[in-house]
Each structure stands twice: as structure tokens, then as C-alpha cells.
Amino acid sequence: MDEFEEILQDFLVESFELIEQLDQDLVELETRPDDLELLNRIFRVAHTIKGASSFLNFDTLTHLTHHMENILNLARHGDILIDAAIMDIILESIDLMKALLVRIRDTRADDGLDVSACVVRLDAAVNGEASVEAEAPVPQAPSEPVAAAVDPVDEEEPDYSGMSDAEVEAEIERLIAIKNAEAVAKRTGGAPTALVEEEEPDYSGMSDAEVEAEIERLIAIKNAEAAAKHANKSSESNASADTQAAAPSAAIVPTPAPITQAAPVAKPAAPAAAPRRAEPKEDAEAKGATVEQTIRVDVKRLDHLMNLIGELVLGKNRLIKINDDVEERYEGEAFLEELNQVVSIVSLVTTDLQIAVMKTRMLPIGKVFNKFPRMIRDLSRELNKKIELDISGEDTELDKSIVEEIGDPLVHIIRNSCDHGIETGDVRVANGKEEGGTIQLKAYHEGNHIVIQIIDDGKGLDTDMLKSKAMEKGLITEKEADGMTDKEAYGLIFRPGFSTAAQVTSVSGRGVGMDVVKTNIEKLNGMIDIDSELGRGTSMKLKIPLTLAIIQALLVGVQEEYYAIPLASVLETVRISKDEIYTVENRSVMRLRDEVLSLVHIGDIFEVERVFDNSEHAYVVVLGLAESKIGLIVDTLIGQEEIVIKSLGEYLKGIEGIAGATIRGDGGVTLIVDVAALMQMAKSVKSTVGDEAGGTKKLGVKNSASDYCVMIVDDSKTDRTIMRKSLESSGITLVEAVDGVEAMNILKQGDHFFDAMLIDIEMPRMDGYTLASEIKKYNKYKNLPLIAVTSRAGKADRMRGVESGMVEYITKPYSFDYLLNVVKRNIKFNEGL
Amino acid sequence: MSDQLQQVINKQNNALIGDENKIDDVVQLVGFIVGEEEFAIPILSIQEIIKPISCTRVPQTPTYILGVFNLRGSVIPLIDLRARFGLPLQKHSEETRFVVMKSGDDVAGFVIDRLTEAIRMPKRDIGPAPETVSEAETMIDGVGKQSDRIVTILKVHKLLERNF
């Protein structure tokens, strides 16, 4: 059974690959119906699938492909001309074939789909009634079961009546061949030479062409024999009986072809009709150098490789950081240069390796583009418009996971272009355009992005119409509509529920498609840019990062926290002063050149407690995603770094606004912002950007004297007692520390919120100056008043105190009242009461 | 003679089976203190026990989720058991540990106040969880009685279950 499964897998992989090419070939065929090379290629696909499926016992599929093969065979001999009607039937049968293959992939069986209607139409097309049949689709009872066993001889019979003499002759020959092959197949062990003896006709009387045909036929029989032998070997049970019958039929079908050709027609078609089994070799020879050497690799292995590279990149980041630290500490030492070299080589190789592995996951975007010619063809027939598709840059490569995601959005965009964009022929002519519309599909690289552009020369987007439609559907208010720029109005088409179509057609109009486009592109961290000119056409630009696992990110800080923002979504960063922030309808906005940008503070999104905020300036990171833009206010910009996206795991997955986490060079974890979610959240977050001035008040609500808290740092017990005595009377809460280290620890524990600190300068372990500068390193203590209490009264000492961040300098000895007053002044005692 | 031999063999077999039963009857647990109480979890559900390291806060999570930390390249959530059990938070001390537990593919670190010891406990000494049905108690697998104390055995898969 395993062996069968293996064969089946190979069959499915091969079939789907063949079909992918098939669609494109067929559409091309319609424009060049007499291209023999194309026809042969298409014929071979049907033939290959038929052969393999009969071997694997998929009767329905065999039945269908057999009839397809018939019609294609006739076409490539020029007996019928492929027109649009016949093409429709062929395409329909190919769709059916695809459905069957999908079914086989999913259920391991090909039953449950009715092919009889299609088969009847195929047969009708063979008999030249195609046009009639196509107009009135056969109302065949769909429940009629398909003949389970496909007898190759039976199927051939109905054609006899319409055959010319030569054809009848060929048919007879063929039947004999089948008989013989069957006989051979039955006793597969038999000597192959016996066949030649049996078959030996009078060669001397034959024309050259006939001899050639005869040789071909013999090869076919040989092949059939070999196939039967092989079949016998590989499958022992009941399968063998079927395969014996099937194998000869697969191999023999081409045999009548050379003979029919040889007799009445003088076409140089013999090589094209060579039996299929010999074909691949020829193909390979013909293509020669162009065939690339490839191996199939399981995607899982590539994913694993990519994960390992991710770890390596993290290691590299860490190494670079350590190298910087070491460089600082051991400046000028000889070994540094060596270390530097090693680090830079490792980092270089890691980067190269990352690119190389990324490339192994790359697929040409042509894989997605391939299905569009067929789609356009169907749509243009359905909509009765002339539409041409112009594809360029299909060799552009991008990550497999992205290729998989990009298909759906493109389908929706192109459907939209066909339905809403391109006008009908007469309208186009009336507007002085060519009758046929064109849709261009382009792909190209731009930096670390791939750009996919869909350009149509249709009627373009009418912003007024879009706005009024949106208002009609209650998506926007009139006021919003008035303030909209053209770009924002174009963006309306991405709103769920929005549609400009007057009525829902099978092609579009449900108001879902463009919403799908937006969500999918956002998922890929991509951007959408729409440009349109009324009456001239629309251009849609999708900008998508090349890969998803390792990305460039902008690191930003808010209070003591850091977040990583995918650089792909960052348009620019600006430093603004707080005065430039305006409040409009409870939302903060700023003017960025000639645009109005709405703002949101990262702290409001991620519930960061804002302990201080007194700086005059703010940094705004302008984020762009799909077609929308927003300004994110942050406290600090740290810089750009290459980060590896790690999931937060099952327990924490789905946290709004967080796309994952990454590990930084220092070993800490930094969360990655999910820009799409952030933009959604920004809509509902109440802005606090404007009232930051009052921000500190809410934290320091003081109801009584004991809510104030002051730390006393002094190594001398006496001095601590004196200070305590001075302040005790006021009722202020006092905390004592014996030196700088302890003071730092108390601060870090955060059990108290200190309003001021009294610091002695001379202390063991950590002195007052060091303590002060350590404290000032923390953003949240920037405003904490530090008061030096010391016996050092020199001017230089005072200066040092100021440098390290002290606000007051009290020299010992001092009076109780003086100390109390200084403290009260600094903590704004009484003001809050 | 052969009967005798058979008997001896049977006896030996029985003894062996008995041994196996005895091994099966003992559970190995790791005991730790959270708040005032001693808890225990099966030793095999512990991936490792580490000293506290820094972690990163994750927004929009309940307070008992302290955030995520980096355990040799994996990002792992950190849950404070004190907060999980509704006890007031406490500063990490010298004895605080992160116990990294796993159940299937789920992994998380749990902050505990102090480790006690590895406990071998016969199954018969483990009673069922008290039959009150409050959220905290559904995490209890059973109660182990030892000569001088009572240990609450927790369900690891329950601890690792997301409930927000």
C-alpha cells in the first residue's frame, strides 16, 4: 500500500504541475489555434494524466481525460479547428479534471463528481456539433452514474460511421494492435520477440511514411508490454487485472495517428506524434541547457533551516553588542583588532547565509500570475468585454509563504478591474479609446520589497461617486466625506461592505473582495497605493516585504519599555514640539507637510504607565499600512535592527497589537508591534496626548502628609537620626538607606514612590555623586528632587553636585527648620492638600 | 520436580510484578511554597528550575502574567503564582525561583516563593481535592498527606491553560 501511496503522490504532484502550465497554453492556443507545438503539449498533458490515472485505477478521471484526449488528438491533426465554443468545452473539462484531482488528493478516490455531461459535450464537439451544444448546455440527469469500468474498445466504437476509408483502416489496425498488446500483457512473462514474428506484415510494399508509422506502432507495443510487466511487478492483488487492461490502451492510442496522417495528408507531423513514453527524452534534449537541475525538498526542512538561521542572526546581534562593549573597555589592546575581524566575518557570513537560505524559499511570482490569463479570458467572455492581459516580471521571486498569500488578493483586484474598471466596448469607443481594454500585471523589486502593480485603462475611480456611495451605506459621515483627500476616498473601496456595483453579479459587487485584499496585504505587512485618473484608468500598487521570518525593525522606547516596529511599515520619523499637536474632536492630530495626520501615543495603546512626561518634544513614527497612515508618538527612538520574529506561544497568542517577540542582543525580550492591529486600536483609544501636563498629577494624589515619602541616604546613624528628627514633625513618611547601593535597591523595588531624596556625599560602596547620576539614568526619576546633605562645602563640590543632578545643596550643620523647609519646597508640600 | 520449579518461577514472577506495582504506586513530586501553603507538581512536568531573570511586560494581559522571558532563545510566558492564587504580590527574594513547566507543547514559567524538596509519595497517601468548586480549586489534582504536613498537588495542564 505504501508503494501505491508513493506512486499516487508522484502522480498528484506531476498532474498539478502539468495543469498549471495547461491553463496558460490553452489560452494561448485560442489566439494561435494552429500552433502544433502548443497543441502537442496540451495533448500530452491529457494523455499523461489519462495514462497514470488508469494505472492507478481512477476510472472517472480516465474516462474524462480519454475524451479530452480524443478531441485534442483530432485538433492536432487538423481535423477540427479549435474555436471559442470548443475551447469552452475543453476548458470546462479541464476544470472538471482539476476538481477530480483535488478530490483524489483529499479523499484518495475520484468518485462523487459527475463527468458524463461534460463527456457528452466533448463527444459532441468531436462530431462537429459543438456550437449547438454549447449554447444549450446539456440538461443531462446529473445523478446518472458514470460507467464504472472503462472499456477502451467500447469507447471507440461510436465514431465509425463518420470515418473515411483511411480512418477505418487505421482503426482496424489499431484494434488488432490492442488485441495483440492485450495478449502480450496477459502473458507478460512471454518472450518479446514473439510479438515481432506475429506481427510481421509485408514491409516491402510500404511507403516511407508507412514504415515509419509501423515502427512507431511497434515501439508503442513494446512500451505497452514493458508497462504491463512493470504493473504486474508493482501491484499484485486485484489492481493487476485493471492495469493490464489500462496500460495497453495508454500506449496504443497514438498508433492510429501516424497512419491516418501518412495516408491522406502529407504533413510533416510524424515526430510530433511519437509515443508519449519516448517524448520526455526528446523534450529534454530539445531544451538541453535550459533545463535546470533541481531537487525536491520538503518545505518543513526549509522552515527548519530558516529557524536555525534566525537563531544565528540573534547570536550575531549579540556578538556585535559584546564586541562593542569589549572595545570600549579594552581600548587600544592588540587583540581587539583580531576580535573585530572575527566578528565582522561572522556577521558577513551570517548575512550571506541568511540571504542564501531565503533564496531557497523563493518562488517566481509567475506561479501566481499563470492562472490569470485563463481568468481574464473567462471573465471577458462572461462580461462581454474585450480585455487583454499584459504580464511582465513574472520571474520576480519572493518567499513561498508570500506567494501563497498573494494569490487571493490579486484575483479580487483583477476581477474588480475587469468588472468595474474596464468599460464595455461601445462605451470605450464612444470615449475615444480602443475597443479592447488592457490590464497590465507587473512585478518588480524595489529595495527589500516586491512591488506588484495592476494597471487598467478603464474608467478610473470617481471620488465623488465613492464618497456618496459610502455615505449612502453609512460608512462615513458627510463631514468626513468633505474633509477627505483623493487618496482617502480611494481607500473607501477597501471598507468591508462597500461596493460601487449597482447590482451583485457573479463576478463582483458583494463588497467583500477588496476587504479581503486589504486584510491579506496587511497580514503580509504590505502597503497598497492607489492612483487613478478619471476616464484614464486605475493603478494599484502592492508593496510587500520579501520575507517574513527575519525583518528590519525600528526600535522605539516608551518610559522603560521597548517595542519593535516592522520597518516595512515605517514611512518616516519626525521630531515635533508639543505645540504642534492639535486636538480635533478628542483626537490628536498634527500637520505633516500638507497632510493632517492623526496621532496616538504608544503608551495609550499598550497601557504603559506614564510616570513623567515633561520634554518639550516628541518623536512621531509615521506608520503606513495598506492605504492608511497614522502617527505613533514615542518617547525615544533607539534605532534600526534586524530582528527574528518569534511567536509568543500558545498561552499568549492573539494579544491585540502584538505580532510576536524577538530577542535582542542583550538577551532581553522585545515585543513586536502589529501595525495593522495597532491602527484598529488607535481608533478606539482615548487620546491623552493633549493633557500630558496633568499626567503627573494623577499619580501623585496626596491626601495627607504621610502620602509624601522621602528617602534619607547617609552612612552615619547620627546624621540619619538628625534628618529624621527634622522631618518627623511634618508627618512625612521616611525611608532610610545606609549607602548608595542600598538606596538604588530600594528605588528599584518600587515599594515607595519617593517625592525627594536626601543624599550624603561621602558614603562607602557608592558615593552621593554616583548615586545621583545612576538615579538620573532612569527616565522615571528625571524629576525626582535630589538634595545633597553634606559637610563638603567647596565650590567644586557644589558644581559636581549640580552636574550629577542634585537640585539643592545643604551643608552640615543645618537647623531642623531649614532642612524641613527645603524639603517641603521641593516636594511641593501643602500645595496638593 | 518440574512442578516445584514452576512454583519457584511463578513466585519470582509474582514478586517482580509486585515490585512494579510498588513503583507505580509512588509519585514523585517537587514541593514549593507560595504564600503560606506548600504545593507540589509531578517532577516529570518540570522542564527546569531557574533563578529569576528579567522579563518583559506584555500589555493587555491579566496581572498574574508578568510578561515573557528569554529561556535560551525561546520566548516563554511568566506567570506569578501568588497573583494567580489571589495573594498579594511580593518582591522577589533570594529564594524566589522560576519553575518552567510543560504539558504537551505548552510551556510557561511560574514564579514561586521557595522550593522545598523532591517528594516521593505513595499514591494511597493522596486524597482527592476538596469538593468545593471555586476557580482556584479546579487546579488542584489532589491533597497529599505526609506525617507532619499537607501538600496540595496541582494540575499542570490546568496551570498552563489560558483563561483570559
pLDDT tens-digit profile of A580-593? Answer: 888 777 778 888 88
DSSP 8-class letter at A506: S
pLDDT of amino acid A714: 85
CATH architecture entry for A299-360: Orthogonal Bundle (1.10)
B105: domain CATH number? Answer: 2.40.50.180
User: Total structural domains in chain B?
Assistant: 1
A700-826: CATH topology: Rossmann fold (3.40.50)
Contact between A651 and B91 using a beta-carbon 8 Å cutoff: no
Question: Is the distance from CB of A746 to CB of A711 less than 8 angstroms?
Answer: yes
Q: Number of helices (H) and strands (E), helices first, in chain A? A: 31, 23
Residue A478 phi/psi, 5-degree rounding, is -60, -40
CA nearest to A645 within chain B: B75
Whether chain A has a CB inside 8 Å of the CB on B76: the answer is yes
Give contacts of B76 with chain A, Cβ < 8 Å: 649
CB A624 within 8 A of CB A568: no
In a domain, B9, yes or no: no
Least Cα distance to A75 among A43, A107, A113, A122 occurs for A43
Q: What is the pLDDT of residue A24?
A: 73
Residue A262 has pLDDT above 50, yes or no: no
Which pLDDT value is given to residue B32?
92
Cis peptide before A264 (omega within 30 of 0): no
More confident residue, A625 or B135: A625
User: Looking at beta carbons, which residues of chain B come within 8 Å of A672?
Assistant: none
* Distance, CA of A404 to chain centre: 6
**Hey, what's the cell of A139?**
440538461
pLDDT greater than 60 at residue B33: yes
C-alpha cell at A424: 464595455
A232-243 tens-digit pLDDT: 544 444 444 444
pLDDT band of residue A508 (cuts 50, 70, 90) is low
Are B59 and A607 in contact (CB < 8 Å)?
yes
The predicted structure's pLDDT at residue A225? 61
Helix axes A36-55, A239-252, angle to 10 degrees: 170
The answer as to whether B22 is a domain residue is: no
pLDDT at A621: 92
Give SS3 for A241: helix
Question: What pLDDT score was predicted for residue A601?
Answer: 86
| Highest mean pLDDT pick, A33-37, A92-96, A528-532 | A528-532
A166 exposure class (CB count in 10 Å sphere: 0-12, 13-18, 19+) = middle
| Pairwise CA distance, residues B164 & B135, whole Å | 13
pLDDT band at B127 (very low <50, low <70, confident <90, very high): confident
On average, the pLDDT of chain A sits at: 74
Active site annotation includes A525:
no
Size of interface A-B (CB pairs under 8 A): 70
Distance CA A625, CA A137 (A): 47
For residue B60, which residues of chain A lie inside 8 Å, CB to CB?
A: 606-607, 655-658
**Residue A729: CA atoms inside 13 Å, Cβ hemisphere, count?**
11
At A189 the pLDDT is 46
Inspect the interface and report whether the beta carbons of B58 and A655 lie closer than 8 Å. yes
Over residues A397-415, the mean pLDDT reads 83
Which of B68, B78, B157, B161 has the most A C-beta neighbours within 10 Å, making it the best mutation to test the interface with A?
B68
Could you say which of A40, A47, A225, A397 is catalytic?
Answer: A47
Q: What are the CA-CA distances from residue A337 to residues A76, A217, A343, A406 (Å)?
A: 72, 76, 10, 47
A9 contact partners, CB below 8 Å, separation of at least 6: none
A406 exposure class (CB count in 10 Å sphere: 0-12, 13-18, 19+):
buried
Residue A93 has, within 13 A of its CA and on its CB side, a CA count of: 32
Would the CA dihedral through B10, B14, B20, B23 be positive or negative?
negative
pLDDT band at A786 (very low <50, low <70, confident <90, very high): confident
Say whether A738 sits in a helix, a strand or coil.
coil
Asked if A649 lies within 8 A of B106 by C-beta distance, the reply is yes
- Does the CB of B88 have a partner CB in chain A at under 8 Å? no
Distance to chain B for A708, nearest Cα, Å: 22
The single-letter DSSP state of residue A646 is B
What does the DSSP 8-state code read for residue A421?
Answer: I
> Residues A308-340, buried b or exposed e (16+ Cβ, 10 A)?
ebbebbbebbebbeebeebeeeeeeeeeeeebe
Range name among A19-28, A625-634, B59-68 with the lowest pLDDT average: A19-28
- pLDDT digits 0-9 by tens, A666-704: 778 999 988 888 888 887 776 555 444 433 333 445 667
- Asked if A648 and B75 come within 8 Å (Cβ–Cβ), the reply is yes
Per residue in A538-557, pLDDT (tens digit) is 888 888 877 666 788 899 98
Beta bridge partners of A454: A441, A540
pLDDT of residue A221: 63
Q: Which chain A residues are Cβ-neighbours of B67 within 8 angstroms? A: 669
Radius of gyration of chain B (CA): 20
The CATH number for A550-697, chosen from 3.40.50.970, 3.40.50.2300, 2.40.50.180, 2.40.50.140, is 2.40.50.180
Taking contacts as CB-CB distances below 8 angstroms, the residues of chain B near A667 are: 70
Q: Chain B window 121-160: which residues touch A at a Cβ cutoff of 8 Å? A: 160
- Reduce the DSSP state of residue B109 to 3 states and report it: strand
What pLDDT score was predicted for residue B30?
Answer: 92
Helix (H) or strand (E) holding A600: strand A595-601
A186 pLDDT exceeds 70?
Answer: no
Least confident of A97-106, A122-131, A480-489: A122-131
Answer yes or no: A66 catalytic.
no
CB contact B93 to A (< 8 Å): no
Q: Assess if CATH 3.20.20.150 describes domain A364-545.
A: no
Residues of A in contact with B73 (CB under 8 A): 311, 314, 663
pLDDT-derived band at B137 (thresholds 50, 70, 90) equals low
Mean pLDDT, rounded, for A216-221: 65
The phi, psi pair for A600, rounded to 5°, reads -145, 145
Give me the count of residues in chain A. Answer: 833
| Range scoring the smallest mean pLDDT among A381-395, A453-467, A749-763 | A749-763
Annotated domain spans of chain A: 1-150, 151-288, 299-360, 364-545, 550-697, 700-826
Please say if the pLDDT value at position A65 is more than 90. Answer: no
Residue of chain B with shortest Cα separation from A602: B59
**Position A614 confidence tier, pLDDT thresholds 50, 70, 90:** low
Three-class DSSP labels, B69-105: EEECCEEEEEEEHHHHCCCCCCCCCCCCEEEEEEECC
Nearest to A661 among B68, B108, B162 (CB): B68
C-alpha cell at A621: 513614527
Q: What are the C-alpha distances in Å from A731 to residues A707, A727, A815?
A: 9, 7, 18
A1-150: CATH homologous superfamily? HPT domain (1.20.120.160)
Spatial distance between the Cα atoms of A268 and A262, rounded to a whole number of angstroms: 9
Q: Which domain holds residue B95?
A: 27-159
- Of the listed ranges A133-142, A718-727, A793-802, B101-110, the one predicted with least confidence: A133-142
Residue closest to A784 by CA, chosen among A682, A704, A733, A711:
A711
Q: Please judge whether B160 and A651 are an interchain contact, meaning their C-beta atoms are less than 8 angstroms apart.
A: yes
Instruction: Say if residue B99's pLDDT is above 90.
Output: yes
Highest mean pLDDT among A8-12, A181-185, A739-743, B66-70: B66-70
For chain A, list residues whose CB is within 8 angstroms of any CB belonging to chain B.
Answer: 311, 314, 561, 605-608, 646-652, 655-658, 661, 663, 667-671, 749, 751
pLDDT for residue A667: 77
d(CA A123, CA A655): 58
Instruction: Give the cell for residue A233.
Output: 511487478
List CB contacts (< 8 A) between A650 and chain B.
105-106, 162
Residue A355 contacts by C-beta under 8 Å, 6 or more apart in sequence? none
* CA atoms of A269 and A262, how far apart (whole Å): 9
Give the per-residue pLDDT at A664: 83
Beta strand segments in A328-426, E: 362-364, 387-392, 397-399
Please indicate, yes or no, if residue B130 is contained in any of the structural domains.
yes
pLDDT greater at residue A572 or residue A60: A572
- On the question of pLDDT at B56 being above 60, the answer is yes
Catalytic site includes residue A416: yes
- Please give the Cα distance from A233 to A309 (Å, whole number): 45
For the cut 90, the answer to whether the pLDDT of residue B100 exceeds it is yes
Stretch A412-416: mean pLDDT, rounded?
84
> What is the model's pLDDT at position A209?
61
A563 pLDDT tier (thresholds 50, 70, 90): very high
CB proximity list for B147: less than 8 A, separation 6 or greater: none
Burial of A427 (0-12, 13-18, 19+ CB in 10 A): middle
Rg (CA), chain A: 39
Residue B65 contacts A where some CB pair is shorter than 8 Å: yes
Cβ pair A258, A273 in contact under 8 A: yes
Residues A133-160 have pLDDT tens digits of 344 343 444 443 443 343 444 444 444 5
What's the complex ipTM?
Answer: 0.78
Which set of grid coordinates corresponds to residue B10? 511463578
Model pTM?
Answer: 0.49
With a cut of 60, say whether residue A833 has pLDDT above it: no
Write the residue in B59, B73, B76 that is nearest to A606 by C-beta: B59
* Secondary structure (3-state) at A206: coil
Residue B1 lies in a domain: no
pLDDT of residue B71: 84
Q: What is the average per-residue pLDDT within A29-51? A: 76
Query: Residue A791: CA atoms inside 13 Å, Cβ hemisphere, count?
Result: 6
Site from B61, B69, B70 to mutate, A interface, most A CB atoms within 10 angstroms: B70
Is there a contact between A360 and A423 (Cβ–Cβ < 8 Å)? Answer: no
What's the average model confidence in pLDDT over A435-457? 85
Cell numbers 480602443 correspond to A434
CB contact under 8 A, B61 and A607: no
Reported confidence tier of residue A168, pLDDT bands at 50, 70, 90: low
Q: In Å, how far is A605's CA from the nearest CA of chain B?
A: 9
Residues 6+ away with beta carbon under 8 Å from A169: A259, A263
Note whether B76 contacts A649, CB cutoff 8 Å.
Answer: yes
pLDDT, residue A275, reads 42
Residue A167 has a pLDDT of 61
Smallest Cβ distance to A669: which of B60, B75, B162? B75
| Active-site entry in A40, A67, A69, A742 | A69
DSSP of A606-618: TT--------SEE
Chain B CB contacts of A657 below 8 Å = 59-60
Q: Residue A169: its pLDDT value, please?
A: 63
